[in-house]
Amino acid sequence: MRRLSAFTLGAMLCVAGLAAPPLIAQEQSQESVADAARKTREQKKTAKKEGKVYTNDDLAAPPRSLTPEVQVTGQPAQSGAAAEGQKDKGPAAKGATAPAEDKKDETYWRQRFKDARDALARAEKELDILQRERDQSQIQYYSDPTKAMNEQLKRTEVNDKQAKINEKKKEIAALKQKLDDMEVELKRAGGDIGWSR
């Protein structure tokens, strides 16, 4: 029995020895976490705030008026008699400058042709989109059987899109004709045909 009790005593000591270090380490880690928390609080209390705090006093005062002031430079407004005298000269003065305004230079023609080509390109893109939508509506599946049957028989959606496509084709034809007419107009005005490119 002594042997058995010595053996039991030895086993208990081994178990107690193996179980004790984790308990001691756990207590030490709890103390170190608590110490770390205390140290952090102390550092926060003693730390100086380095960032500048802005207040309304630091900001500039807002402008008195939200609308901008308009300053007119040049001649002040004239009296009624003087203004009438200049109105009489107006058409004659305009007649003298009219030939200069009628002359259309290269930038005018290039801008005009650019605008016309942009409108034509935009219309062609819209036509492409309409054609895609029409093709999609021809193969579209309707979950509602009544709607599907109506579309198969009447084809209203497809016909509506086809009408829009026809209108867009007419618009494109008109824009192309406008470009051709502008080239003729440019030749008549004596401009270089290269300005239309």
pLDDT at site 95: 46
Lowest mean pLDDT among 14-18, 160-164, 190-194: 14-18
- Asked if 142 contacts 148 with a C-beta cutoff of 8 angstroms, the reply is yes
Q: How far apart are CA 136 and CA 123, in angstroms?
A: 20
Region 60-82 average pLDDT: 54
CA angle 197, 183, 194 (to 5 degrees): 35
- Write out the H or E segment, with its range, that includes residue 158: helix 156-189
Number of structural domains, the chain?
2
Write out pLDDT tens, residues 109-160.
889 899 999 999 999 999 999 999 988 887 777 788 888 888 778 888 888 9
User: Mean pLDDT, the chain, as a whole number?
Assistant: 75
Is the pLDDT confidence value at 98 over 60? no
- What is the predicted pLDDT for the residue at 13? 73
Question: What is the predicted pLDDT for the residue at 94?
Answer: 45
Residue numbers of the domain that contains 184: 105-196
Q: Does a structural domain hold residue 100?
A: no
> What CA–CA distance (Å, rounded) separates 176 from 170?
10
- pLDDT score, position 143: 80
Higher pLDDT: 109 or 17? It is 109
Q: How many CA atoms lie within 13 A of 133 on its CB side?
A: 15
In a domain, 43, yes or no: no
Note whether residue 78 is domain-resident.
Answer: no
Is residue 98 situated within a structural domain? no
Residue 73 belongs to a domain: no
The answer to whether position 128 is within a domain reads yes
| 138 assigned to some structural domain | yes
Q: Among residues of the chain, what percentage have pLDDT more than 90?
A: 21
CA distances from 169 to 14, 100, 162 (A): 98, 39, 10
Is there a domain that residue 130 lies in? yes
